[in-house]
């Protein structure tokens, strides 16, 4: 296995765990409150990584600064819609839909002149289909995917992340993955706090409430999201851009389902098992 593949499997695990617990966390707080807490918690590993590796990158122009802030703002909106979709439920539909973001990144890259092998396009489609099957609830014999409110809300998250990862390769010039990760997490924290103030919610009170409640789901969600994002940026730097790592990382519903089976004793239905097999085939195709 290549280093890019191995690194990209880390977000599969950490984001899968984060999605598993985030449904509970998003019901304890408002969507913006959950996003603020996740970003505040995510600052801890981001700052530790920056202290360990050091910071040397500089912003060369106002345009680059604007684009960096834009990526942070788009990430924040995407997380907001994901938290809202997870609260609406079902979690399976929200997670599968939100994780279709690599298709958006791939299409935008192709539209702006990028070229990829057929294996990349096929692998992206296979992983997405596998994630949808894995996350589907087919107990009634029908998968009413597009009629669920969570689908429409999570689709906005997918569009946001797809655009953000497309912009990453174009604005991360002169920055290491450590520096870019810190910038994005700081920007997301700032924008989520500003959004809360605009809606007359108290960021400080939300943070205090999290400490008082000892809310472990929000801590797990925050650390899982932050670690996954940092390692995805590392994989992007070592590879040829964001597209391949993003496609592999979008298989996180596989980890979410494994946690549900192991901890909650959920049973996988035939469609879910088919999804597992299809995801594995898609990852093997991407690594071929």
Helix segments in the chain, DSSP class H: 3-28, 31-53, 62-88, 91-98, 101-111, 118-135, 149-171, 177-198, 203-213, 216-238, 243-249, 252-263, 270-287
Query: Is the pLDDT score of 102 beyond 90?
Result: no
- To which residue do tokens 């899982």 refer? 224
Q: Looking only at Cα atoms, what is the longest distance across the chain?
A: 56
- Write down the mean pLDDT value for the chain: 77
Is it true that the peptide bond before 90 is cis, omega within 30 degrees of 0?
A: yes
With cut-offs at 50, 70 and 90, classify the pLDDT of residue 231. very high
Q: Locate 106 and state its tokens.
A: 């791939």
Highest mean pLDDT among 72-86, 105-119, 163-177, 221-235: 221-235
- Those residues whose C-beta lies under 8 Å from the C-beta of residue 261, and which sit 6 or more positions away, are 267, 268
Residue that wins the pLDDT comparison between 128 and 35: 35
With cut-offs at 50, 70 and 90, classify the pLDDT of residue 141. very low
Query: Is the pLDDT score of 140 beyond 50?
Result: no
- To which residue do tokens 């990144």 refer? 105
d(CA 171, CA 168) in angstroms, rounded, equals 5
Contact at 8 Å (CB) between 138 and 269?
Answer: yes
**Count of residues in the chain:** 288
d(CA 202, CA 34) in angstroms, rounded, equals 12
| C-alpha dist (Å) from residue 257 to 36, 167, 199, 242, 275 | 26, 30, 35, 25, 10
């Amino acid at each position: 296995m290549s280093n890019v593949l191995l690194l990209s499997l880390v977000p599969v695990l950490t984001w899968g765990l984060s999605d598993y617990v985030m449904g509970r966390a998003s019901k304890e707080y408002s969507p913006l409150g959950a996003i603020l807490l996740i970003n505040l918690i995510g600052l801890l590993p981001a700052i530790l990584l920056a202290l360990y590796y050091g910071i040397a990158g500089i912003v060369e122009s106002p345009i680059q600064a604007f684009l960096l802030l834009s990526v942070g703002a788009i990430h924040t909106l995407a997380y907001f819609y994901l938290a809202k979709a997870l609260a609406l439920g079902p979690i399976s539909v929200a997670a599968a839909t939100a994780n279709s973001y690599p298709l958006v990144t791939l299409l935008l890259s192709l539209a702006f002149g990028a070229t990829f092998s057929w294996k990349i396009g096929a692998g992206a489609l296979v992983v997405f289909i596998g994630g949808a099957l894995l996350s589907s609830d087919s107990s009634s014999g029908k998968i009413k995917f597009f009629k669920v409110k969570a689908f429409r809300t999570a689709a906005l998250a997918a569009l946001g992340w797809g655009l953000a990862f497309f912009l990453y390769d174009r604005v991360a010039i002169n920055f290491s993955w450590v520096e870019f990760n810190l910038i994005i997490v700081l920007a997301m924290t700032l924008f989520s706090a500003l959004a809360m103030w605009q809606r007359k919610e108290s960021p400080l009170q939300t943070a205090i409430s999290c400490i008082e409640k000892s809310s472990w789901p929000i801590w797990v969600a925050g650390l899982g999201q932050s670690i996954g994002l940092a390692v995805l940026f590392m994989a992007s730097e070592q590879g040829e851009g964001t597209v391949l790592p993003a496609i592999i990382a979008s298989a996180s519903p596989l980890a979410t389902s494994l946690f549900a089976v192991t901890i909650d004793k959920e049973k996988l239905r035939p469609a879910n098992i088919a999804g597992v097999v299809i995801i594995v085939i898609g990852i093997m195709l991407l690594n071929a």
